[in-house]
Amino acid sequence: MYDLTIIGGGWAGFNAGLKARELGLKTCLIEKKALGGTCLNAGCIPTKTLIQSAKIYSLTKKSDTFGIETRDLRINFKKIQDRKNKIIQQLHSGMQFMLKGIDFKTQGAQIISPEEIRIGEESIKTKFILIATGSKPIELKGLEFDSQRILSSDDILNLEDIPTSLLIIGGGVIGCEFANLFSNLGSEVTIAEKMPQLLPGEDKDIAKKIEAVFKKKGIKINTNTDAHSLDLKDYKLILVCVGRIAKIDALGLEKIGVSLDKTRVITDEYLKTNIPNIYAAGDCTSKVMLAHFAAYQGSVAAENIAHPQNPLKADNTNIPNCIFTEPQIASIGLKEEEAASKGIDINIKKFDFLGSGMARILDETDGFIKIISDNKTDGILGASIIGPGATELIGILTLAVSTHLKVSEIRKTIFAHPTLSETIGEAIK
């Protein structure tokens, strides 16, 4: 009998397995498809790999700005895809190596009872179960995925050719990243977003800025637009990315009485379901669908399973959000609109990357840093960045928000020059 059986080998399940092994639990990890889940196989890693290739192409096209002359510039999309697949395989092998001491099974799983799981023709007994099955793209009625012309965010990663024209339905994080990627590669890109702004939920100033940058690149933006009102004949390919939904339909959760809210697994603050020995973590709980948050939840769940008498709350709300467009976007903590709605007397500090020496050296001056603090306590409440290196810079501000640093304390910090990080110090002068 296992102490813990984890269903799902994505970021939540994988990190739960490593923590469980560390805590001395006899652990089984079950993954139906590929180790690494969405993040490694159809999300973070492949998309950012393709984005980097597109960025290199985009930079090379303007190399004359840096005094470098190039000729006969062309894209070898097969090599781009081959590089992406190689990186996935390398990371996959590394994760596989790290599973030493954990029983790893590559089959589908069905929960028969709170103590029994069927894997193919085999049944195993377990004291605890952790559900970490991740999520899948949402389909729209009338625009169901056919993997030929109407694509999911999974499908589009495996294209063999760059589309001449691409309609992206959904202007959230996924839609904006793919819009930037394929625009850089030469596709004619249109975004249709039902809400009044791109990146719903992000800071309004950030959303306005990325929309302006996208329009400058030639990306067509249609906000307040229902996709069904568009003439789809005008586009070579259609990418539907309107969100993701928990992937739990084949587990048999209803039969054993696990409480669900529509299709997500309901957990308490300790990640426990209504059945005492069954926990859930990551995207299947639909709280925050980010790989780094899933990893955090997985580790907390394993700790609570190992030490049920002294459980930890999975209540860390300081979750950085990163968007790999050009310019990059990142945020942490409260945004201006949220702080205002809470009635907090806020102070807003901004710094434009036009004033950064390093941003000018890189020739990436689009964007700004926006830092929000409490006027009464001087504490840093949140920050939003759009500009070069935003996804790295947000780490500094995540630490500041998490440790309740004050603006006055950041002012005492000496940032190296010339760097992008010194823009944080400049913003709060």
Given this chain, do its domains 2-136+245-306 and 321-427 carry the same CATH topology?
Answer: no
pLDDT above 90 (res 241): yes
Which whole number is the average pLDDT over 188-213? Answer: 97
What is the C-alpha R_g of the chain?
23
Here the tokens at position 350 are: 């901004």
Contact 331, 319 (CB under 8 A): no
DSSP state of 140: B
- Domain boundary assignment for the chain: 2-136+245-306, 150-242, 321-427
Strand, coil or helix: 201: coil
pLDDT above 90 (res 14): yes
Cβ neighbours for 388, distance < 8 A, ≥ 6 positions apart: 327, 328, 353, 358, 359, 362, 364, 367, 420
Which whole number is the average pLDDT over 167-177? Answer: 98
- State the Cα torsion 141-142-146-152 to the nearest 10°: -50
Q: Which of 140, 144, 170, 126 is nearest to 278 (CA)?
A: 126
pLDDT score, position 72: 87
pLDDT above 90 (res 227): no
pLDDT score, position 89: 97
Q: Which of 74, 71, 44 is nearest to 56 (CA)?
A: 74
- The residues with which 319 forms a beta bridge, in sequence order, are none
Spatial distance between the Cα atoms of 210 and 201, rounded to a whole number of angstroms? 14
Q: Which of 173, 215, 223 is nearest to 51 (CA)?
A: 173
When pLDDT is cut at 50, 70 and 90, the band that residue 51 belongs to is: very high
Query: Is 150-242 assigned to CATH 3.50.50.60?
Result: yes
Contact 246, 283 (CB under 8 A): yes
Here the tokens at position 151 are: 């694509």
For domain 321-427, give the fold.
Enolase-like; domain 1 (3.30.390)
Strand, coil or helix: 373: strand
CA 399-47-12 angle, to 5 degrees, is: 55
The residue length of the chain stands at 429
CB atoms within 10 A of CB 225: 17
pLDDT above 90 (res 303): yes
| pLDDT tens figures, 260-301 | 997 799 999 999 999 999 999 999 998 799 999 999 999 999
Which CATH architecture best describes the domain 2-136+245-306? Answer: 3-Layer(bba) Sandwich (3.50)
pLDDT above 90 (res 166): yes
Spatial distance between the Cα atoms of 427 and 227, rounded to a whole number of angstroms? 39
| pLDDT tens figures, 388-417 | 999 999 999 999 999 999 999 999 999 999
pLDDT score, position 286: 81
Computed over every residue of the chain, the mean pLDDT equals: 96
CB atoms within 10 A of CB 205: 15
417 is an active site residue: yes
In whole angstroms, how far apart are CA 78 and each of 34, 81, 161, 269? 22, 5, 8, 46
